[in-house]
Structure formats: structure tokens, C-alpha cells
Chain A
Amino acid sequence: MHEESQNPRIVLVGNPNVGKSVLFNVLTGSYTMVSNYPGTSVEVSSGRCRIEGRSYEVLDTPGMYSLMPITEEERVARKILLTDRPDVLLHVVDARNIERMLPMTLQLIEAGLPVILVVNILDEAERLGMHFDLAQLQKNLGIPVVGTVMKRRQGLDELQQAIAACKEPTASFEPYAVDLETDIARLASLLTGDYPLGTRATAILLMQKDAEVEEMVRAEEGDGFPLIAPVLREIQFARRADLNLQISLERKRMTRKMLDGALQQDEDEHPSFGEMLSRWAMSPISGVPILLLVLYFGLYQFVGNFGAGTLVDFLEGVLFEKYINPAVIGFLHNLTDIYWLRELLAGEYGLWTLGVRYAIALVLPIVGTFFLIFSLLEDTGYFPRLAMLVDRLFKQIGLSGRAVIPMVLGFGCDTMATMVTRTLETRRERVIATVLLALAIPCSAQLGVILGLLSIVPGALMVWLVVMIGIFLLIGFLSARVLPGENPVFYMEIPPMRLPQLRNVMVKTLTRMQSYFLEILPLFLIASIILWAGKMSGVLDLVVKGMTPVVTAIGLPPDASAAFIFGFFRRDFGAAGLYDLQTAGLLNPAQLTVAAVTLTLFVPCIAQFLMMKKERGLKTSLLIFVFVSVLAFATGWALNTFLLATGILS
């Protein structure tokens, strides 16, 4: 009756970047995010597959480096091993780095888990001059070993056969040094409970001061724990200096033994084109020009000119203005002649005219082109290289190179980027990143409109750029000094550069666009309703009037107030409001620049604010909100004064 829960369970584990997600997709046929950036898949995906007429449930876990978790992702992955008791455990390793990944295989065997070793990416390893004898490795390890190239579905049949034939493991493992074995045996013999990882592995993790495992043992042993604790503390103290190191070295020794006769390495190694490209991307001399090229072609030309220019012109100017709008507005007007309803549907701030049109014709093409570029770069493995390139600079603003991902993502959507700041290590780093995202990183929708606006006026773009970079660095620099705490330490694995897989890139882009669209369309509609209600009741006029003194103080026409009010509903709304002012000829070049700068700095959109509240708490986000608003207008005022005094741009 309970067939659902009786399906045997396959769990995938392994380092980040070994092709786990690809294997998952090949096995289940469904899609999860495949990422070339270490540790981005925080969520666990599950799916189903049928092998030899039998149904299996398949779980993909976040990347983990060893059974002893350090990061949140690893904790999630291990939790699955601790609670789920897999029927088949696939340990996926990168053949090129088998030597550093086998220690985890040994750990899994030690834990008595039903492991199958999947040696993936065999093709690239062979290109590096590595020759495997997997039959020998299988003999040495005593568990099934399958070689695969999952990208091309090579080895899938063998893997499925191995899964179907998977049996209860027979406990056999390599012993550690005698003294270590004595301690393990002493501790393991005291454990009476039922442990998913077996008493041996549990004892080792206890000795390594794994807090979670200790909690589990405390709960499992109950009254027996006080008997175990003194022995445990005694062993921990005696081995306080070098237990982890000794265990790592022992496992390394075992790994060598396992690979004996199973792996041969050719001596000479030619740097491949990918490797050359990787060096260029990492060297500051060529890396900075490459970054500028990526920014120029990716962001400016493709997102700015093509997305925000050509595509928007077509969708907005041709498709909507000429064909869709007249028909729809006419239809809506025929529907009713009640004034307020007409306004709500197709008026100035109507659901159709403002909400749907902006979302589809103005924002979607820009965000879509940005996500395409972002996914493409992500798939090549460029971001870890960018991270190491900017780490030194980012340290000055209290961040580490890791923060480059949320920062770059912020140029697409600040709300998403704010969510991603949770991958940063310290609270201090997360707060600084949140402030900078709220302040100085314009999202692609806003960026597209602003680039379009400012490119009309020579020099305006340069002024805007200088102010933005200046504020970004200055505020980062100051907050790094004001906020208490140490600078973060930077370490990161640099995965090999890869040719992006078209299918991967497309699916990632579409997934991101879909989640963005689902998030924004309701907000656009809500914003339309609020603005409509404000207009109908006259509240909007009052708020706009209330803003007017501030807006005129920075030298802008009173009409610009509306753009700032809209700006809070979506950042790009505000920018688009400016666009209307500009086309109406209400702004001179200096005013346009001041307005663009102030608006870029001004409060994040409502969605970003809600995300800030969720991630950082109400108090911190309110503080950031006030700080950003004050700073935006102060900067606008200063810039206006400066531009008037110097006569630049006039």
C-alpha cells in the first residue's frame, strides 16, 4: 500500500563540480540547476527513475568535501546521510582529482554505507595523461566502481546495472595506525545505539569533535552518555594537537594504496587552450582587460544596446504601441464606461498600461539578456577567476572575493542578489554587501533605461559612472571601518574553464527569467493598483507634493517627484519615469544626470526591501533604507551644486 515510501532510495554525494547534478538529470530525466560555481546548489533536488523495472527515488545533495561538515551546504548533505539511510549511495568523483576525492570514499566505506564509486569526467582525465584500471580499483576498494562521462551519457548502462545489483555492503575497511585504531575501538565499543554511519565512523567523528554527531550520540545513548563522555574527553585531549591532520594523512596513505596499479600518470603535460585562457583571466595584466571586454560586450552592448535598445524598441515601440495597445485599450474601453474602472484597467497607471506593458515590454527583454550573459559566464567558470582577481580590492571594502557573485548578480536583479548574500561567511560581510546592493548597484532594468537616457547627453554617462564607482568604494571603505569584526579570509577552488553547454545555459536563463517574472508581475500589478488608488483619491498628488521640496532642492523640476515615488515600487519604474520626462523635454543635461544619479542611489525597490527584511531583519533593513535615502539626496544635491558651479554638462 505504501509503495511511495518503499521505493529504494539512491543518494548522490560528492565534491562540488564533479557532475553530480548532470548525473542526477541523466538518471531522472528531470532538470536541476547545474552550476560551475563551487557550492551554489544549496537545495536538495529529488526525482525518480526506473532501472530494470524497479522504481527508485533519487536525491541529489549539495557538494561536500568530507563527512565532517563545515559549511551549511555540507551540513545539509550530511544530514541526509544521517537521517535517510540510502539504499544505494553514489559517490561521484572527478577522475582528474581522484586522489583527493578518494579519502571521502574511504570514509563512506568506513561508515558501512552501500557505496558505488562513480569516476566521472574520464575523458578529460585521459586527456591529461591519466590512465585508469578501474577493475583494479574496484578490487582494491572492495566496492563497485563505474567509469563515466555523464555529459555524454557514457557509462550509464554500467551504472544502472551496478545500481540494480547493489547489495548490502560487507564491512571491510583499511585500518588506521595501531594507536588510532585502539582509541577508535575503545570508543566504538562504548556506543550501544543504532547509528546510520555505524559505530566506527561515529566514533571517529566524535573524536574529531563533530558537535552534531556528539548531540546525536548524547540523545541516542541517553543515560549511558555520562559513561562515554570522560573517555571521549580523554581521547580528545590526548590528541588535541594533530588528530585531524593524522587522520587526513592516514587516509592519504590509504588512497595511495588503493590507487596502486589502478592509475598511471603520463609525465608531460601540455597546457590546453582552456588552461591558457584561465591564466589570462587570472593575471591582472590580461584579466582586467578581459573583465572590461566582458563588461563592454556583455553588459553594455548586449544588455544595454541590444536588450534595452533594440529589443525594447521592438516590443515597446512596435509591438505594443502599434498593434497590441490600441486593440487592448479599445477593448477595455468598450468593456465599461465607468471612469474609475477604465482608469484601473487602461488609464495612466492602469493594470494593463503600467503593469503588464512595463513588465513585458520594458523589463523582461533587459533582464532576459542579462540572465543569458550571466548564465553563460557562470557555465564557463569565469566567476571564481573574477573573485580571485578582485579579492584584494574587495578586502578594502570589507568583503572578500566571494562577494563578487552577489555583486554581479545585482546588476541583473538586486532582490535575487540580496538573497544570495547569505552565502557570504560573516554577518559583517552580509551587511556590507546588502548596503552596497541597495545603494550603488543598479539592476539591469534600471541600468538599461539609465544607459539609454544618459547616452543621449555626451559626458553624462561618464559623470554618472564616476559618481557610482566613487560612492560604491567610499561607502564600502567606510562601512568596513565602522562595522566591527575581522576582514574575511578568502579561499576558493578554481574549477577548470569549460566551454559552456548550450542546453545548460538556456535552461538556467529560462529558469531565472521565470522566477524573476513570477516575482515581478504581481508586484507590478500591485504597484499599479496602489498608484491608481493614490491618483483617484488624491493621495498620490499629496505624496508627490511632499517630495517636491526635496526634489527641487537638488535642482530637478517638480514633475520628477513622481519618478522617485515610482522608483520605490520597482527601481526601473523610476528610471522609466525619467524617460518620460526626458522625452517631454523637461530635463536639461545637468538635471538629467543628477536625476539619474539620485535615482540609482535612491531606496531599493519594494521587492528588494522585503528581501532585505527577510535576510537581515527589520531593524537593519530600516536603517539601511533611511541611510540610503538620505545619502542619495545628499549626493544629488552635492552633484547638482558641483555641476552648476563648474558648468560641466551645461
Chain B
Amino acid sequence: MEKLSPHAEEILESLWIATVEEDEVGCLLSDLDLGDEDAALNELVRLAYVETRADRLYLRKEGRPEAEMTVRRHRLAERLMMDILDIQGEKGNDQACEFEHLLHEGVDTKICTLLNHPITCPHGKPIPPGPCCEEARKKGEPGVVPLTELKAGQSGEIAYLAISDAQKMQKLMSMGVLPGNRLVLVQRFPSYVFKVGHSQFAVDDVLAREIHIRDER
């Protein structure tokens, strides 16, 4: 399969988000800042991934899998930037935008596995699962998910704490929030409330995202 240009990938990405996640019918060309004779656009039309009617751009069925994978690569890149490399905010976003275009030929699979098949991006949007995620699920590998992914009443073992602030981490550990301990999520809103042993704790979503649970579903 021929490799798309970065610009073409970005068009696919925006189109997929608009069509699949925001339930819109295609995208206005002007919204994507595209003229009629855009090279990247022509590239996509030639592959029959998209089609233009009047001044709207539509995602074709043929383009969906590829589009989904571009979104997946972008969101994996965001996870990598923000969780592992700790590049936050605008800078993290910009770096992720650059980086996503390098995630081809199995690099995305490697990164997805490294990140333990994450299911949401740092902004909370779902990451479309790749073949590696399906495979891991089939093998029955217990997934490790942030506390934010658990439903109220669910429980699991604390896998690890990815808390950037060493003192907060120390504090949680000294309160018994330790890898290997069983945790029951009592409540998700307005704050996360969980039980470890006979003690209850409340944390906000920032901390909840950093407590990782071995999911026993």
C-alpha cells in the first residue's frame, strides 16, 4: 500500500473525526482549508478514499479503515508524548502531530504494546483499537487501565502508579494505595472514590488517570 503524504493523513483524520465521532455529514472544504486543486486531496480522491460533491468532502467506505488508523496513530502519539516523554500542553500536541506520521510499518503496533494498548487519548477520546489490541484481548492478557476506565462497583488490583509528582505518589503509597493491593471503585462522579482495604479515598480525575488498575473483566 502506498504511503500517504502527511497532509493527506491529516485530512483523513479530520474527516474521520467529523464523520464518525461528531456525526456530521462530510466536511466543508473551506473548513479544512482546502482548494479544489489540493495535491493531498487529489491523492485521496485518486485512491477513492474520499469524494467531493459540491463544496463538501465525504469519507468513502474504502477510506474508513485507513482514516481510522491515522486517528489511532495520532492519539497513540499523543499518549507517548504526554505519558512517557512528559511533553505537555500545546508542545505535546505539536510534537504528536509531527510524530504521528512516522508511526508506520509496525511502529504503531510496537508503541501500542509499549503503552499497553491504551483505549483513550490524553484528552479522553477513544483510540481506535488496532490488530495488536484485539490479539492481546484474545490472549486474555489482563489489560491495565487507568482508574478512570473502571465503572463504579468494579474492582481490580493496583498495577502501578504513574504519578509525576513524587511527593503525591509517596503520600498515596503511604496511605495504602500500593501496587498489588485490591481496589474497589465506589463512585466516579463528581470525584473518584475508591476503597483499599477498609479505607476510602477521594481523588480528582487528574490523579485517577495516574492510578493504573489490572482490569479483571
**Which A residues form the contact surface with B (CB < 8 A)?**
65-66, 68, 70-71, 96-97, 99-100, 103-104, 125, 128, 244-245, 248-249, 252, 278-279, 282-284, 384, 387-393, 395, 400-401, 489-496
Given the known A-B contacts A100-B196, A248-B173, are A283 and B207 also in contact in the complex, defined by CB atoms under 8 Å? no
Give the interface size class of chain B.
20 to 34
B5 at the interface (CB under 8 A from A): no
* A492–B202 CB distance below 8 A: yes
Mark out the residues of chain B between 199 and 217 whose CB falls within 8 Å of any chain A CB in the assembled complex. 199-204, 206-207
Give Cα A627 to B87, complex, Å: 37
* B171–A401 CB distance below 8 A: no
* A284–B189 CB distance below 8 A: yes
* B170–A100 CB distance below 8 A: no
Contact of B201 among A278, A389, A491 (CB under 8 A): A491
Q: Which of chain A's residues have a CB closer than 8 A to the CB of B189? A: 284
* A244–B207 CB distance below 8 A: no
Given the known A-B contacts A388-B191, A489-B165, A490-B204, are A97 and B199 also in contact in the complex, defined by CB atoms under 8 Å? yes
Give Cα A540 to B191, complex, Å: 52
Given the known A-B contacts A244-B166, A252-B180, are A100 and B191 also in contact in the complex, defined by CB atoms under 8 Å? no
* B206–A489 CB distance below 8 A: yes
* A97–B176 CB distance below 8 A: yes
Which residue, A97, A100, A278, A390, has most C-beta atoms of chain B within 10 A?
A: A100
Contact of A489 among B166, B168, B200 (CB under 8 A): B168
What residue in chain A is nearest B176 (Cβ atoms)?
A100
Give Cα A547 to B189, complex, Å: 49
Give Cα A392 to B192, complex, Å: 11
B198 at the interface (CB under 8 A from A): yes
* B173–A490 CB distance below 8 A: no
What residue in chain B is nearest A17 (Cβ atoms)?
B199
Contact indicator per residue, chain B 172-189, by CB within 8 Å of chain A (1) or not (0): 111110111100001101
Shortest distance between the CB of A402 and any CB in chain B (Å) = 10
Contact of A70 among B171, B181, B200 (CB under 8 A): B171
Give Cα A400 to B167, complex, Å: 17
Give Cα A66 to B203, complex, Å: 20
Given the known A-B contacts A97-B197, A244-B169, A491-B172, are A391 and B202 also in contact in the complex, defined by CB atoms under 8 Å? yes
* A391–B198 CB distance below 8 A: no
Q: Which of chain A's residues have a CB closer than 8 A to the CB of B161? A: 245
B190 at the interface (CB under 8 A from A): yes
Shortest distance between the CB of A131 and any CB in chain B (Å) = 14
Q: List 14 A-B contacts (CB under 8 A).
A: A70-B167, A70-B171, A97-B176, A283-B187, A387-B202, A389-B190, A390-B190, A393-B190, A489-B168, A490-B191, A491-B168, A491-B202, A493-B175, A493-B200
Q: Which of chain A's residues have a CB closer than 8 A to the CB of B202? A: 282, 384, 387-388, 391, 401, 490-492, 494
B45 at the interface (CB under 8 A from A): no
B29 at the interface (CB under 8 A from A): no
Contact of A97 among B167, B168, B178, B198 (CB under 8 A): B198
* A401–B178 CB distance below 8 A: no
B193 at the interface (CB under 8 A from A): yes
Q: Which of chain A's residues have a CB closer than 8 A to the CB of B167? A: 70
**Which B residues form the contact surface with A (CB < 8 A)?**
161, 165-176, 178-181, 186-187, 189-191, 193, 196-204, 206-207
Contact of A391 among B173, B197, B204 (CB under 8 A): B204
Q: Which of chain B's residues have a CB closer than 8 A to the CB of A282? A: 186-187, 193, 202
What residue in chain B is nearest A495 (Cβ atoms)?
B200
Shortest distance between the CB of A643 and any CB in chain B (Å) = 35
What residue in chain B is nearest A496 (Cβ atoms)?
B200
What residue in chain B is nearest A66 (Cβ atoms)?
B174
Shortest distance between the CB of A390 and any CB in chain B (Å) = 8
* B201–A492 CB distance below 8 A: yes
* B180–A249 CB distance below 8 A: yes
Give Cα A25 to B178, complex, Å: 33
What residue in chain B is nearest A493 (Cβ atoms)?
B201
Q: Which of chain A's residues have a CB closer than 8 A to the CB of B206? A: 489-490
Give Cα A496 to B176, complex, Å: 16
Contact of A249 among B171, B172, B178, B198 (CB under 8 A): B178
Q: Which of chain A's residues have a CB closer than 8 A to the CB of B168? A: 489, 491
What residue in chain A is nearest B165 (Cβ atoms)?
A489
Q: Which of chain A's residues have a CB closer than 8 A to the CB of B166? A: 244
What residue in chain A is nearest B152 (Cβ atoms)?
A283
Q: Which of chain B's residues have a CB closer than 8 A to the CB of A393? A: 190
* A391–B174 CB distance below 8 A: no
Give Cα A393 to B189, complex, Å: 12
What residue in chain B is nearest A68 (Cβ atoms)?
B170
Shortest distance between the CB of B198 and any CB in chain A (Å) = 4
* A65–B200 CB distance below 8 A: no
Give Cα A81 to B190, complex, Å: 39
Shortest distance between the CB of B51 and any CB in chain A (Å) = 44
Give Cα A256 to B166, complex, Å: 25
Shortest distance between the CB of A407 and any CB in chain B (Å) = 16
Given the known A-B contacts A401-B202, A491-B201, A493-B199, are A391 and B171 also in contact in the complex, defined by CB atoms under 8 Å? no
* B186–A279 CB distance below 8 A: yes
What residue in chain A is nearest B161 (Cβ atoms)?
A245
Give Cα A67 to B181, complex, Å: 21
What residue in chain B is nearest A392 (Cβ atoms)?
B190
Shortest distance between the CB of B11 and any CB in chain A (Å) = 34
What residue in chain B is nearest A64 (Cβ atoms)?
B174
* A392–B176 CB distance below 8 A: no
Q: Which of chain B's residues have a CB closer than 8 A to the CB of A395? A: 204
What residue in chain B is nearest A208 (Cβ atoms)?
B170
Shortest distance between the CB of B46 and any CB in chain A (Å) = 48
Q: Which of chain B's residues have a CB closer than 8 A to the CB of A104? A: 174
What residue in chain A is nearest B172 (Cβ atoms)?
A491
* B175–A65 CB distance below 8 A: yes
Contact of A245 among B179, B199, B200 (CB under 8 A): B179
Which residue, B170, B198, B207, has most C-beta atoms of chain A within 10 A?
A: B198
Give Cα A495 to B203, complex, Å: 14
Q: Which of chain B's residues have a CB closer than 8 A to the CB of A400? A: 204
Contact of B176 among A99, A390, A490, A495 (CB under 8 A): A99
